Structure 1
Amino acid sequence: MSNSSPALARKLTLVAAVAFGLSYMAPAVVLTMFGIISEISHGTAPTALLLSTLAMLATGISYAKMAHLFPSAGSAYIYSRKLLSSKIGFLVGWVILLDYLFLPMLVWLIQSVFLHAQFPGIPLWGWILINAAATTAVNMVGIVVTDRVNRILLVVSVLAVLVLVAYCVIYLSDNSPASFTDPIWNSASTIGGISAAAAVGAYAFLGFDAISTLSEETKDPQKNIPRAIIYSILIAGAFFVAVSYVMELVQAGSGLEDPESMRYTMSVLVGGKHFADLLNVALVVGAFAGCVSIQAATARLLYVMGRDGVLPKRIFGHIGKKTKTPTYNLLLTGATSLIALPLSIEIASSFINFGAFLAFTAVNICLITYFVKNRDAKKLMSISYILIGIFGAAIDIYLLTQLSEDATLIGIGWLILGVIWLTFLTKGFRKPVPDLSLNPNALVDESAPTVLVDHDLDSTTR
């Protein structure tokens, strides 16, 4: 890429990167998932979500370390290419596309279902098109505008959840629970039940990895991206645990039974139907931030793969001269909204989880590989990171085994398509995978020996 070619603009701060990750995860997801997690864990959702936080933190540390070493927008795709092999890297990038490319479609569909239920005058397909067009327009303007819209809507979403918590606290002042410790552990609690609920709770954290796709648009990315990844997991985890604790206190003895409608029925219980309807609108508006973040991350992964030549460069490697955004990729992801028109939420959700957890596993293996190669440098630190990688990979493989049959079949089918494309790209594996265009600020040069630097390790987790 020549020096005169447009490139991503480096304008984001640490706060912006954290806000991006939190928006992608969507703090209000705790309200949607609470009923299911509570049911599986027998009323100990906070404990299950705390376990989810610790499990995802292991993978988060792997991503943080890799983002420190390779500050590129390519995320797991880049890490796997550099540390495993170009072919494995391609397949990891291809598989994670299943997550990134179709997740915007799923979020637009969910958003539109809620809006259609609230405002049935506009058909579902109309809301899908409106949501996709609005999100694409925000992202097309540029990363600065995207950041501002993202922060405002994130605040709206968080405030909506906090208002519900406040109503719950008021409700509890007149309806004191039998025990304040039951949400942590009670007579029905089992380690197996809490572990199973924690596996479900892990889905609430999907998205922290997308922060690494902002590495080429964030100031001082080797410090700020790793910190943003860790901070977003810790902040989201603390928020999920605290909110679910209050909701468990309300739920205990309240007679609320349907886990899927728990958010709405609890809102009606503590604040009345009018409040529940207003809360729904606020949460839907706030969730628009997640749509913006998800589409932005998808477009940047496609950009790096296009820049490397593993996808057609003229289209996927294009950057708008004025906006400094991957405009063609944003339009392409916006067009995926059309796929959602005939789908249900259940079917659409089966598209994404396989790619996410397989990519998580690959990044943990990358961490193990890096520290095995550098085992002569500060052995205690190396062993610690290797153990973190093993723990994170084990968790992610377990989550892979918990996916539905549909999700697994779709994931395997997509992977087979990737192998076919790779075969074509390399002329039957007779040619190498197109060369990697690594960001010039990266610490590690593929042609040079990999050397572990003590202060680099420390700065990742400071």
Structure 2
Amino acid sequence: MSNNPVKLTASLSLTSVVLFGLAYMAPSLVLVIFGVIAQVSSGTAPSAFLLATGAMLLSALSYAKMARLFPVSGSAYFYARQMLGSQLGFLVGWLILLDYLFMPMVAWLVQSVFLNVQFPAIPVWAWMLINIVLTTLVNILGLSLADRTNKLLTGLGIVLVLLFVVFCLIFLGHEPPVSLTEPLWNASSTLVGVSAAAAVAAYSYLGFDAVTTMAEDTRDAKRNIPRAVVLVMATAGLLFALVAYIMQLVHPGGVFEDAQIASYLMSVEVGGQAFADWLNLGFIVSGFASGLIVQLSTSRLLYFMGRADVLPRPLFGTLHPRTRTPVFNLLFTSVIGLIGLNITVEMATSFINFGAFLGFTAVNLCVICYFYRTRRTRRLGLFGYLLFPLLGMCVNLYLVSQLSSTAITIGLCWLAIGVIYLIWLTRGFRRSAPELNMTERAGG
């Protein structure tokens, strides 16, 4: 029985959870990375996004299957425990902690860098502290406030993306494109180039899995969480591809004066300097939602692992009696975020993908294990429960192989620390890793 009587409240709707997932992925992200994707793909950015969407959808379908079977907040960690055993499950959880622990730091750091560019009088470190304090305060005050704030800011982000698209379409009305098919395939296109661009674009889809950490905060989680996972991936993927297609019509080809700021230069072209500056400011404001939701999902995973005694329960496995939020976890992620005061965006993002893609690989493997465990008693489709998860594993392992040597080194060091911690927890593998009692699912 739990020592903590405070329970999570299942109050979120399907719409709220989908918007949480979209906030994690950031609707405006397509504008940020468009130039790089178009450059690598030789002017076929929408095809690269469509290919990346299809590749990552394989893992999203596996998450949806596992979330329907296990509607709890442990995400990949809990799925792996059930399908792969307690010790492998622990290591999967440890790996995805690398992603979840440092993702808030990345979100705050990126937001702070953009704010510093817009308001250079205030240094990055000051914006970092402002972002961390505001995000943490909203999350501590309760899920309802976080939900309302996210709906407002994510809605603003989507509206601004669509506004940019409208200005692009007006521009195209005066400057009709030479070809409507060139953004999909052109004389410079190669399968290798589009695939390489898709691999870069795939890193933009991290976060669709985060909605599974909100299972115990969601009404009818067994039905809504699987739907939310697929809806988040499909919505973001189609939005990215559609916006990239319109942008590619405005700017055919993959040659840019500066690929890193291609969307800003394009917004100046289609709407003027004032439009570009206000649009950029709007995206920065709406980007606050990303840090908010990333920290929220991280706190839920830490809470679940604390409840299971994998992390110290008195600290990580408790909720505030009034706000029903894991206050210690939120403060803990804030402290982790302070590491970002001394590193660059490139360094911060270089290693979190290691844990994310190996976590995705494990969830696909879980679906395959479920297929083999139940094939004698249940009729399961070969495509959905064997072929698609196998393809998903291959995609994610390929993406891991494309990471920098620094990212892989840091990831392996993190995994080694996890193995040492597991040896200590299990007293030299003489007993199972701690496991959550399923009667505690709704408890603290």
Band the TM-score falls in, shorter-chain normalisation: over 0.9
Partner of 1:341, secondary structure, is helix
User: Which residue number corresponds to residue 294 of structure 1?
Assistant: 294
Q: How does 1:82-93 map to 2 (within 5 A)?
A: 82-93=82-93
Report how far residue 296 of structure 1 moved: 0.4
User: Which residue number corresponds to residue 328 of structure 1?
Assistant: 328
Matched, 1:103 2:103: yes
Q: In 2, Cα distance between the equivalents of 1:38 and 1:346?
A: 20
TM-score normalised by length of structure 1 = 0.93
Report how far residue 129 of structure 1 moved: 0.3
List per-residue Cα deviations over 1:86-142 (Å, max 9, x = no partner).
111111111111100001001101100110111122221110000000000111111
Percent sequence identity over matched residues?
A: 50
- Give the counterpart letter for 1:236 in structure 2: A
Q: In 1, Cα distance between the equivalents of 2:142 and 2:431?
A: 37
Q: In 2, Cα distance between the equivalents of 1:149 and 1:221?
A: 22
Report how far residue 173 of structure 1 moved: 1.5
User: Which residue number corresponds to residue 455 of structure 1?
Assistant: none
User: Which residue number corresponds to residue 113 of structure 1?
Assistant: 113
Matched, 1:176 2:176: yes
Q: How does 1:177-326 map to 2 (within 5 A)?
A: 177-252=177-252, 256-326=256-326
Shift in alpha-carbon separation, 1:439–1:252, aligned structure 2, 3 A: farther
User: Which residue number corresponds to residue 437 of structure 1?
Assistant: 437
Residue ranges of structure 2 left out of the alignment (5+ in a row): none
List per-residue Cα deviations over 1:196-225 (Å, max 9, x = no partner).
111111112110000000111101100000
Report how far residue 253 of structure 1 moved: 6.8
Report how far residue 377 of structure 1 moved: 3.9
| Contact 1:72–1:438 (8 Å) recurs in 2 | no
Shift in alpha-carbon separation, 1:273–1:69, aligned structure 2, 3 A: same
Q: In 1, Cα distance between the equivalents of 2:404 and 2:254?
A: 32
- Give the counterpart letter for 1:413 in structure 2: C
List per-residue Cα deviations over 1:321-377 (Å, max 9, x = no partner).
111111100011111221001101111111310010000000000000001111124
User: Which residue number corresponds to residue 366 of structure 1?
Assistant: 366
Report how far residue 255 of structure 1 moved: 6.9
Partner of 2:217, secondary structure, is coil
| Contact 1:256–1:265 (8 Å) recurs in 2 | no
Report how far residue 181 of structure 1 moved: 0.6
| Contact 1:256–1:266 (8 Å) recurs in 2 | no
Q: In 1, Cα distance between the equivalents of 2:382 and 2:50?
A: 26
Partner of 1:196, secondary structure, is helix
Q: How does 1:379-418 map to 2 (within 5 A)?
A: 379=379, 381-382=381-382, 384-418=384-418
Q: In 2, Cα distance between the equivalents of 1:116 and 1:241?
A: 29
User: Which residue number corresponds to residue 79 of structure 2?
Assistant: 79
Q: In 1, Cα distance between the equivalents of 2:440 and 2:319?
A: 18
Q: In 2, Cα distance between the equivalents of 1:4 and 1:161?
A: 44
| Contact 2:12–2:217 (8 Å) recurs in 1 | yes
Number of aligned positions between the proteins: 442
List per-residue Cα deviations over 1:24-53 (Å, max 9, x = no partner).
111111011111111111111111111111
- Give the counterpart letter for 2:72 in structure 1: S
Report how far residue 441 of structure 1 moved: 7.0
| Contact 2:35–2:256 (8 Å) recurs in 1 | no
Which shifted more, 59-68 or 190-199?
190-199
Q: In 2, Cα distance between the equivalents of 1:384 and 1:314?
A: 40
| Contact 2:43–2:254 (8 Å) recurs in 1 | no
| Contact 2:114–2:284 (8 Å) recurs in 1 | yes
TM-score normalised by length of structure 2 = 0.97
Report how far residue 236 of structure 1 moved: 0.8
The Cα RMSD (Å) is: 1.6
Q: In 2, Cα distance between the equivalents of 1:110 and 1:413?
A: 25
Shift in alpha-carbon separation, 1:4–1:349, aligned structure 2, 3 A: closer
